[in-house]
Amino acid sequence: MQNAPIEEIAKTVGIARGLIYRHFSSKEELYVLTVTSYLEELDGVLSAAIATTGSPASRLEQWARAYAEFCCRYPAFLDCTLSLMRRPATELQATISDSVWLRLGQGMSLCINHVSSLLREADHQGVLTVSDPDYTANVLWTQMLGTMHLARLRVGVRQTAPGIPALFSVSPDRVVETCIDNALATAGIKR
């Protein structure tokens, strides 16, 4: 997708190429705005997931499940987000307008803040100790994006004999459960 010419994108969408350039300064900006529209929806999903009563551990589990299932439900979110993460943030920022950069930051911070706040609350209650909730939340956010790509691929690879690779089937449900386990483990909670 990242290498697709603007002409091809315009043709696929069914609009003139000039309309794309009128609304977006670059292809990266188009990707960022696609991600920000998903982030708006994801913010609501994550907010609802942790709004329930329960222990911080159960609410973190609900957050992780909601995030992982969102990635399964919207593979374009996963593709676009991972595509944007292929280089340092400063390089991405140089290719998009300040207003689009701000929208991306706002969308990400809203989504990540759900888990930061939850980790901070759990730390205050003495349920777990996370030395830096914001850093840990960013680690969880990024880990899950990478791991959920395995659900998108639906295959893993193993060596059956020296130098002989073989593919095996990977269930998206298994990857979701792995993401939940990893999120809890990163926060120091065992299921």
CA atoms within 13 A on the CB side of 20: 19
Structure tokens at 48: 């609802």
The torsion angle over the Cα atoms of residues 71, 73, 79 and 84, rounded to 10 degrees, is: -50
Q: Cα dihedral sign for 33, 34, 37, 39? A: negative
Give the contacts of 131 (CB within 8 A, at least 6 positions apart): none
CATH 3.30.230.10 corresponds to the domain 26-186 = no
Determine the Cα–Cα distance for residues 134 and 128; give it in Å rounded to an integer.
15
- Count of all residues that appear for the chain in the document: 191
Q: Cα dihedral sign for 42, 45, 47, 53? A: negative
Q: Indicate the domain borders of the chain.
A: 26-186
Beta-bridge partners for 167: 157
- What type of residue is 55? S
Structure tokens at 43: 């913010």
pLDDT (tens digit, 0 to 9) for every residue of the chain, 191 residues total?
455 665 665 555 555 555 555 566 666 777 788 889 999 999 999 999 998 778 888 999 999 999 999 999 999 899 888 888 888 999 989 988 899 999 999 999 999 999 999 999 888 888 877 889 999 999 999 999 999 999 999 999 999 999 999 999 999 999 999 999 999 999 887 65
Cβ atoms within 10 A of the Cβ of 35, count?
23
Confidence at residue 85, expressed as pLDDT on a 0 to 100 scale = 86
